[in-house]
Structure 1
């Protein structure tokens, strides 16, 4: 994997950790929160997403619409599952498990279904990244905080399965479509699909927007930024390598959880970060 591609994925990882941490501050209704930031992200992405269309690099047609529709459905399930997990359990449990499960499943299905064959050193680097994430996460079965985190682990694993699903689909789609236009279409269709459900709570919308205005706008900016960078990287690098590398975001996320939410075990998380960086170095070779 080329150094420039690695840099793009690492910037995406930081952006991803930021928006996930901010979403933990959400206080209003989960459906309205996801709907609001999806719609806001769509509006922010449209001016950039239409550029490939205007320049002729991307045509409007059934392929773009169909691929965006499938991605929108997968991302809606992912967003609601993730946010529900954050509402009920600790960030330090749900986030590492979700981001750790995702690349393992992605690599497995990329090899089995897409026929990708990473080199031995690249595959070893991916494994080292996953090991580092396990160290950062620590023992998910420990007690604490007045509740057993096993259910948080299950929510994280469910989220990881949705991550694997949309990652594989999107890697297939961006091979034929402009990433920024494709993801703009995904946000637009996801927002439209969730609108009827949001309107059933129309009386709560003003209060929800006032309560979560900051998190909504932050997620609306950093979520598409993170994933458009990943989609761009997928055009020049195998998904089996991009997927685990971008999950280095859990190092940043875990440190933010320690700093902002006063979660413990900083030393273990620093050790896990060092292991993750070792894996990244192996992938870059």
Structure 2
């Protein structure tokens, strides 16, 4: 804890934040695929949240210090914002193909986040960095457009899915900015992380109980819950810690390379074809992230 506090805003902190943001991108690609997998998105998220509750409760209640009373409003806002984000993501995945809507969500988020970081944290990108943002967004939306032209499933719900994806991207920017402010306001960042996972995991299990849509418990559910929870710890935990150590905007940009990782996962493990156009667009996303990083 003392070491983390000491490197905030330093070159060491900057390098660690970069590694954390890229780690978050890789893990988020896995997390998105899990939620869009075997079960409907509402059920998948409820299963993962149940595991998050079980794993985070003892840490939040008995290991880390409790949040100060004067900061509970921050956690209340966090719960509301993440609930809206999770609902929008479930609605988006329910209506659109993963390869189409995921790049739109990830492409919309960083632009709003960079603007929000400028207003709230006083962060300002250079002209070169804005050029990098443009390259990254061009690659993300280009990838989505290419996938949209090729997709053969859920075309009848494609327009509302894209609208929801943009709204979800805006919610990503809101929660990234809010969480960055919250983790900086709490003295111990692990207090914020533990209570974040604990408090934001109640909603979807309650929704599943109301909907009465729980599948029959089996080993696959247990694996999904456990793997999903561990990936969520890494993905959300890494990016929030990165925003405490260094620039919120740069962390948000680097996290959006998750689309590249998602495509690579599909190519290497799922044996999905990539093709030269997708490779070019993914290279554009990666180039944009590099330009943002070196342009600071």
**How does the TM-score come out when normalised to structure 1?**
0.84
Pairwise CA distance, 1:76: 1.7
Q: Distance in 2 between matches of 1:196 and 1:48?
A: 22
- Give how far 1:141 is off: 5.6
Shift of 1:123: 3.1
Pair 1:12 & 2:24 matched: yes
Contact 1:9 1:242 in 2 (8 A): yes
Aligned partner (choices 22, 31, 46) of residue 35 of structure 1: 46
Q: Which aligned pairs between 1:244-259 and structure 2 lie closer than 5 A? A: 244-257=253-266
Name the CA distance, whole Å, in 2 between partners of 1:225 and 1:64.
24
Give the RMSD, CA atoms, in angstroms: 2.8
1:78 shift after superposition:
1.3
Which aligned pairs between 1:129-278 and structure 2 lie closer than 5 A? Answer: 129-139=136-146, 142=149, 144-146=151-153, 147-148=155-156, 149-177=158-186, 178-202=188-212, 204-205=213-214, 207=216, 212-257=221-266, 266-278=275-287
Partner of 1:94: 101
| Closer/same/farther in 2, CA of residues 215 and 266 from structure 1, 3 Å limit | farther
Q: Report how far residue 180 of structure 1 moved.
A: 3.3
Alpha-carbon shift at residue 17 of structure 1 (Å): 0.3
Residue 92 of structure 1 and its aligned partner are, at CA, apart by 0.5
Question: CA separation in 2, counterparts of 1:208 and 1:122?
Answer: 48
Deviation for aligned residue 1:22: 1.7
In structure 1, C-alpha distance between the alignment counterparts of 2:120 and 2:280, rounded to whole Å: 34
Deviations 1:163-203, CA, capped at 9 Å, x for gaps: 1111111111111223432232223223334454333245x
Report the Cα distance in structure 1 between the residues aligned to 2:87 and 2:216, rounded to whole angstroms: 20
Report the count of equivalent residues: 279
Stretches of structure 1 lacking an aligned partner (at least 5 in a row): none
Shift of 1:52: 7.0
| Cα distance between partner residues in 2 of 1:263 and 1:63 | 50
Bigger Cα displacement from structure 2, 102-111 vs 204-213: 204-213
Q: Could you tell me how far 1:9 is from its partner in structure 2?
A: 0.8
Shift of 1:273: 2.3
Given that residues 48 and 225 in structure 2 are in contact (C-alpha distance below 8 angstroms), is that contact kept between their aligned partners in structure 1?
A: yes
- The whole-number CA distance in structure 2 between the counterparts of 1:135 and 1:141 is 10
CA contact (8 A) 1:21 1:256 kept: no
Alignment gaps of 5+ in structure 2 = 1-10
Aligned 8 A contact 2:67 2:192 in 1: no
State whether residues 85 and 94 of structure 1, in contact with CA within 8 Å, keep that contact through their aligned partners in structure 2. Answer: yes
Change (3 A) 1:115 1:125: same
